[in-house]
Amino acid sequence: MKRRILPLFALIFALMLTAFACDKKSEEPAKPTPPAATPSAPAPQPSKAEAVPASTPTATQSAAPVNPALLKPEAAKEKAPEKFKVKFTTTKGDFVVEATRAWAPIGADRFYNLVKLGFFTDIGFFRVVPDFVVQFGIHGNPEVAAAWRTAQLQDDPTSKQSNEKGTLTFAKGGPNSRTTQMFINYKNNDRLDKMGFPPFAKVISGTEVIDAINKEYGEQPQQPTVQSEGNAYLKREFPRLDYIKSATIVTK
């Protein structure tokens, strides 16, 4: 009789341990999703049966005159200086970043060319995850966004610089998929280092501006819709979103 009771007791004890382990696992917070760029496949477009508001620009209807150079990403091949500073003017104030080409040469060159072309004009902070990242870089004009969406970069080597608090890094949706989307790290996110996210710059002044960016919409804005409708969508659905007004090379 005792021989039968002991195995039964061992089985019950094992089941109790398994249930306890499952409960503990369910309590663990999920890690934030790495910053991803929209896949290169075309964004969904409204069907013919769906009415498109007249005020909503489409990929072939610009909301404002566009610098023709912004529609030719293949020509934006200027090599960046080894170090350069960029001043961002936003709806929350100004901040300055310093880029270091040695950290990620390909990414730094792309950033330099985007700034010189005036890409960062009226650009929304469309993804804000507290204690993780703030993401931006989809152009508010769908025509410009479409031009850059397939202008993908080869990956830079990783581990030159860690994703420390305040560093700027390009978002990506897979190998060799960086385009114009980037993020600023709200904290030390070193787990991104080995995932292929090499920083190319760091905020050197105005960190309080980054911290003050409106976080109420979190990850609600949908990237495919931002791509296809631009700022018309963001300003209609998320009226208190913060924006980059301009970004310029600091010469002094």
What's the mean pLDDT when you consider all of the chain?
Answer: 84
User: pTM for this structure?
Assistant: 0.79
Across 120-135, average pLDDT: 98
- Is 202 part of a structural domain of the chain? yes
Work out how many domains the chain is built from and give that number.
1
CA dihedral for 238, 239, 240, 241, sign (positive or negative): positive
With b for 16 or more beta-carbon neighbours within 10 A and e for fewer, the 109-130 pattern comes to: bbbbbbbbbebbbbbbbbbbbe
Coil, strand or helix at 11:
helix
DSSP 8-state code for residue 181? -
- Is 52 part of a structural domain of the chain? no
- Distance between CA atoms of 156 and 181, rounded to whole angstroms? 15
Q: What is the tens place of the pLDDT at every residue in 99-116? A: 999 999 999 999 999 999
Q: What is the tens place of the pLDDT at every residue in 30-39? A: 467 878 776 5
- Is 75 part of a structural domain of the chain? no
- Is 125 part of a structural domain of the chain? yes
Q: Hey, what long-range contacts does 68-74 have (CB within 8 A, 24 or more apart)? A: 69/117, 70/117, 70/118, 70/119, 70/139, 70/144, 70/147, 71/143, 71/144, 71/147, 72/147, 73/147, 73/148, 73/151, 74/151
Quick one: which of 225, 123, 111 has its CA closest to 179?
A: 111
DSSP 8-state code for residue 242? -
Residue corresponding to tokens 């990850």: 219
- Is 41 part of a structural domain of the chain? no
Is it the case that residue 241 has pLDDT exceeding 80?
yes
Show the domain range for 166.
82-252
Across 163-173, average pLDDT: 97
118's CB contacts (< 8 A; 6+ apart) are 67, 70, 246
Listed range (18-22, 39-43, 151-155, 232-236) with the worst mean pLDDT:
39-43
- Is 27 part of a structural domain of the chain? no
Report pLDDT for 4: 53
CATH number of the domain that residue 121 is part of: 2.40.100.10
Confidence of residue 156 (pLDDT cuts 50, 70, 90): very high
Report pLDDT for 58: 39
- Is 20 part of a structural domain of the chain? no
End-to-end, the C-alpha distance of the chain in Å comes to 89
- Is 235 part of a structural domain of the chain? yes
